[in-house]
Chain A
Amino acid sequence: MNLGTFTKRAIYDLKHHFFVQLMTTLVVLLSVLIFSFFLFIYVNLASLVDYFGSELGMVVFLKTDVDYTKIPSVHQRLTEIKGVQEVRYYSPEDGFRALAVYLGDEKDVLDGISPDFLPSSFQISLNRSGVTLSSIEAIASELLKWEEVEKVQYARDWVDKLDTFTKLIKIVAVMSCVLLLSTASFVVANTIKLQVYARAKEIEIMRLVGATSGFIQMPFLLQAFAQGLLGASLAILATYPCYRYSQAVLHSSQWLKGISLMFLPMPYIAAIIAGSITICVLVTHLSLSRFIRV
């Protein structure tokens, strides 16, 4: 029997057991929708965390007794570090002027003090793309090994907190994925069980006229394929309005205007649809193998 005949049979079964099929598809849709929603939040928060992380930049303080002739080479080496976008040098005089501005009316306290007590420093901006929180830490610890460097300053607490938060979101996303997959598998398995019970007589007759296990299972598997495909596709389509709405809310906010959300990347969408189909087909096959005796 060819695939066309099996497809006809699957469509025939779909029509005759429409309500049960609809319920199964809805369960798949809701499970994938909840998971997609979590994934959407995770993807965007992770992206925001990286965005803020790279925005932080870092300041590299040189030793006060550093040989000034070495500063151009330090500058050069800093610009060659992967992920560094811009390096700006601040001399002790620049620092002194900035300190005076910072002190405002109290700047008199600096009278008679030479700028030499301040170290030379480099302000480093990082690339937004390709730089992660862990790479910032790696750059900082590498710089501390340089003999000219006294101290590297960056918002370590912030970075640590953001990093921990990202990891937490990732765990939540993975856990929700596992829980929802288990729930969806359980429901699909039970729906298949109900379908098998509802069609016990038909299946029994098929067996008795010489149907193979594949013949009996194929329409169910095709239906499972369609349910997985349809459920996941509709769930992703339903996530899109959420993305557009969130985007609009961010754009209307004065504070968060510069932040741009992203929809689920194409590889993620493909993986969700493929995963949904695989789960539906696999669970259906396992359930049928369990309930149908040839």
Chain B
Amino acid sequence: MKTAGSSVISVRKLNKKYQPNIQALTEVSLDVERGEFVFLTGPSGSGKSTLLKLLYANERPSSGQIWVDGVEISGLSSSQLPFIRRKFGIIFQDFKLIPYQTVFENVSLSLEVTGLNRKQIKNKVEQVLDHLGILSKTHLYPMRLSGGEQQRVAIARAIVNNPNIILADEPTANLDAERSEDVLSLIKGLNQEGATVIFATHNHEFFKDNSSNVYFLQKGLLQEKDGL
């Protein structure tokens, strides 16, 4: 087994139990190397989102350890968690865009929290919107965009801060096949540029070429696809 020190994400004997008695994850251990692209799959309710939430510290584990870039995060205080979250770019199934803010404002939020000035924010946001082909949508509100465009805005917000790790929680679930392929190839492109990616999905088409590591979650238990 790889050691916690050599992986960008390392999980050891992770358990998550919700009250009253729901075991969401059981003894999950996982290592993700820097620059790796990992698929996380499994049926609905298997614990994929829970695992991702534990990685970006939106939830606290019941037991076990999580290392992110060598930092054990389950023991961190609340005031330290925001700085860990900035290492992640998170993409959600439901996009999580703020409806009363423009594309520019939604994307710039990731940079505002880091304390960059307006000029730096403007440059970076325009750069990333241009890269994702939605620069012309800068001043539109999310409701004026198609589902695919909204997901591109969400991806822009996730990557504008140049995060080391991208966590994608079923980002194509609300998109048609063509838009889904489009989003996958975008995220693969980001991986080729150096980002580590954990991509949660139950679309088996995405990993049929077997070019990436695939982990399968079933009732909170994690297995590598090869081992199935």
Interface residues, chain A, with chain B CB atoms under 8 Å away: 1, 5, 9, 16, 201-202, 204-213, 215, 293-294
Contacts and interface: CB of A to CB of B under 8 A. Distances in A.
Contacts of A210: 82-83, 85-86, 110, 113-114, 161
Contacts of B97: 205
Nearest to B158: A209
A202 B157 CA distance: 14
B113 A215 contact: yes
Mostly, the A contact residues are helix
B100 A211 contact: no
Contacts of B145: none
Mostly, the B contact residues are loop
Contacts of A208: 56, 58, 85, 90, 96
A16 B98 CA distance: 12
B115 interface: yes
Contacts of A293: 78
A212 B79 contact: yes
Nearest to B115: A1
Contacts of A207: 58, 82, 85
Interface string B39-66: 0000000000000000010100000000
B98 A201 contact: yes
A209 B90 CA distance: 8
- List the 7 closest A-B pairs by CB distance, nearest first: A210-B86, A210-B85, A211-B113, A209-B110, A212-B82, A210-B82, A294-B78
B85 A213 contact: no
A135 B90 CA distance: 73
Contacts of A16: 100
B79 A213 contact: yes
A294 B81 contact: yes
5 contacts: A202-B98, A205-B96, A209-B110, A213-B79, A293-B78
Nearest to B94: A201
Interface string B102-128: 000000011011110010000000000
Nearest to A16: B100
A293 B79 CA distance: 11
A92 B96 CA distance: 97
Contacts of A213: 78-79, 82
Contact of B82 (A1, A201, A211): A211
Contacts of B98: 201-202, 205
B115 A209 contact: no
Interface string B156-183: 0100010000000000000000000000
Interface in B170-221: none
B88 to A, nearest CB: 8
Contacts of B112: 1, 5, 9, 215
Contacts of A205: 96-98, 109
A1 B110 CA distance: 12
A184 B98 CA distance: 31
A19 to B, nearest CB: 14
B106 to A, nearest CB: 8
A215 to B, nearest CB: 5
A212 B96 contact: no
Nearest to B77: A294
Given A207-B82, A210-B113, 20 more contacts: A1-B113, A5-B112, A201-B98, A204-B96, A205-B96, A205-B98, A206-B113, A208-B58, A209-B86, A209-B90, A209-B161, A210-B82, A210-B85, A210-B114, A210-B161, A211-B109, A212-B113, A213-B78, A215-B112, A294-B79
Nearest to B87: A210
Given A5-B118, A201-B96, A209 B157 contact: yes
Contacts of B113: 1, 206, 209-212, 215
A294 to B, nearest CB: 5
B9 to A, nearest CB: 17
Contacts of A212: 79, 82, 113
Contacts of A202: 98
B71 to A, nearest CB: 14
Contacts of A1: 112-113, 115
A212 B86 CA distance: 10
B154 to A, nearest CB: 10
